[in-house]
Amino acid sequence: MSKPTVNIGRVGIWYGGIDALPTPEARRAAQLLEELGYGALWVAEAVGRDPFVSSAVLLAATERIALATGIANIYARDPMTMAAAQRTLAEAFPGRFLLGLGVSHAHLVSNVRKHDYSKPYSYMVEYLQRMDESLFMAIKADDDGGRVLAALGPKMLQLSASAANGAHPYFTTPEHTAIARATMGADALLAPEQMVVLNTDPTEARRIARAGMAVYLRAPNYTNNLKRIGFADSDLADGGSDRLVDAIVAWGDEQQIADRVAQHHAAGADHVCVQVLQDGLDGLAMPETQWRRLAPALLG
């Protein structure tokens, strides 16, 4: 399949912490990112707000910036409902909504949602087919904007190119971006996420990075992928080796972070979703200062 028709630009912001903001502040965050020139705002789905309702609220508060789900959990709604949500937003906000889909993780699907997670890849294959076949008898946009899949391993990356419009890899490296591009070919969108810490002190930057990485180092989907691209069990232990931390999280000044984003682009990324990690309780606050500081380096 071809790339999505939604223009998300070369650099966007991945902001899972937006669920911790009151809705007026969430609107302000989206407006600020639009003002600064970022191409897209990526919102997550876990145990917080509904991502489609949030996307509608944020799209209505802005004029140009794209909204993307990174990701909408396919176990959270049936394929017909997922397709209807996408088509509703595509018609209401033409060219501004990109659907990101994923299988999530076993603990969130089996334990929290009480669904069967035994065959996530097969479930995704069938789910996409059923989305394509779903009935929708409301007014449609000329184009639904397209969809991307949360993909790390070769099978899901291949599916991202054949049954979707691209991939949104998360918690990975420029080396993985090169692998993903080679696996998917030239025609699919590749939009990896990149964690960053705007701090030049190695000890402090890695401490903040490890705190942000901790939850992901307990998720087999991510640890299996890290092993697949060359990291060992020793790299994953005790919060992550310096080698792993430095590979997953870009830290330093604005130019050092821009250099890492450029590495993803050079490896084949069309778009990079930058996620700012903050220290301690600040992690729940809007990283306005960092977004402002990074914008000239990332978007200039």
Model confidence band, residue 115 (pLDDT cutoffs 50, 70, 90):
confident
Beta strands per DSSP E along 79-188:
97-102, 147-149, 166-167
Going by the DSSP 8-state scheme, the letter that residue 2 receives in this structure is: P
Mean confidence (pLDDT) of the chain? 96
Q: Is the peptide bond before 71 cis (omega within 30 degrees of 0)?
A: yes
Fold of the 11-299 domain: TIM Barrel (3.20.20)
Phi-psi region for residue 77, left (φ > 0), alpha (ψ -120 to 50) or beta? beta
The answer to whether 101 and 132 have CB atoms below 8 angstroms apart is: no
Interacting residues of 70 by C-beta distance below 8 A, sequence separation 6+: 14, 42, 43, 44, 100, 150, 168, 170, 193, 273
Considering the entire predicted model, what is its pTM? 0.97
- What does the H/E/C string look like for 168-185? CCCCCCHHHHHHHHHHHC
Task: Name residue, tokens 């609220």.
Answer: 57
Domain ranges of the chain: 11-299
pLDDT top residue among 128 and 115:
128
Model confidence band, residue 283 (pLDDT cutoffs 50, 70, 90):
low
What would the pLDDT profile of 146-193 be if each residue is shown by its tens digit? 999 999 999 999 999 999 999 999 999 999 999 999 999 999 999 999
Interacting residues of 244 by C-beta distance below 8 A, sequence separation 6+: 226, 231, 235, 236
According to the model, what pLDDT value does residue 282 have? Answer: 66
Long-range contacts of 180-184 (CB under 8 A, 24+ apart): 180/151, 180/268, 181/267, 181/268, 181/269, 182/268, 183/154, 183/157, 183/158, 184/157, 184/158, 184/160
Q: How many CA atoms lie within 13 A of 112 on its CB side?
A: 13
